[in-house]
Chain A
Amino acid sequence: SQKIEQNSEALNIQEGKTATLTCNYTNYSPAYLQWYRQDPGRGPVFLLLIRENEKEKRKERLKVTFDTTLKQSLFHITASQPADSATYLCALGSTGGFKTIFGAGTRLFVKA
């Protein structure tokens, strides 16, 4: 069955450092991969999308890489800030957006 794996352990980093989160998947050939941010008790908020034919995408302090051979995506937050503390979810989707599935998320804590 399709499976998405994200680090279950929380990631603790110091303010100003780069946070790197990992998303691995199996039994899926996604058309695209997305990253979302979720704060406690709130709905997820879309951050970035990268398509299967793209290797890297950037948006301000965020960078996503996508390796379809390794079936892995890395999500980087540079110059991290305490306000970046949240749970980050990886999601895979097929063409047309059908049945977008999510990983369990990685909790990030940025210490001042």
Chain B
Amino acid sequence: DSGVTQTPKHLITATGQRVTLRCSPRSGDLSVYWYQQSLDQGLQFLIQYYNGEERAKGNILERFSAQQFPDLHSELNLSSLELGDSALYFCASSASSGRASNGELFFGEGSRLTVL
């Protein structure tokens, strides 16, 4: 158990809909990362938050948005869903504090999104 909790584990929805994925990081971790993994694809970095602020952005679509709340949990919002958005969405956390750190990421078990 990594200590990172993601909900829901599975989600089936229709094209055009909007969903919210939730992530609770390990206790004490300030950084949260979101990744997308499509079938047979690698982990695509979407976005990173550190202590409530956006720190780095990757290949995140404009239809997607995220935020990190004061209690450090994070949400990834996916809107106007398309078939191609079907994927595993992983959240990871780390103890990164902005200084040189171990950089080790602790991943949740993912949220599997199916868009029909």
Contacts and interface: CB of A to CB of B under 8 A. Distances in A.
Contacts of A31: 100, 103
B48 A98 contact: yes
Interface stretch (B14-22, B61-69, B70-78, B91-99): B91-99
Chain B contact residues: over half helix, strand or loop, or mixed? Answer: loop
Given A96-B96, A96-B100, A97-B101, A46 B106 contact: yes
B42 A96 contact: no
Contacts of A36: 105
Contact of A95 (B100, B104, B108): B100
A95 B101 CA distance: 7
B109 A42 contact: yes
Nearest to A42: B109
Interface in A32-50: 32, 34, 36, 41-46, 49
Interface residues of A, number: 25
Contacts of B96: 96-98
Contacts of B98: 96
Contact of A43 (B2, B42, B55): B2
B39 to A, nearest CB: 11
A43 B1 CA distance: 10
Contacts of A45: 2, 107
Given A49-B102, A97-B96, A103-B42, A44 B58 contact: no
B45 A96 contact: no
Q: What are the nearest 4 A-B pairs in CB distance?
A: A43-B107, A104-B42, A97-B96, A99-B56
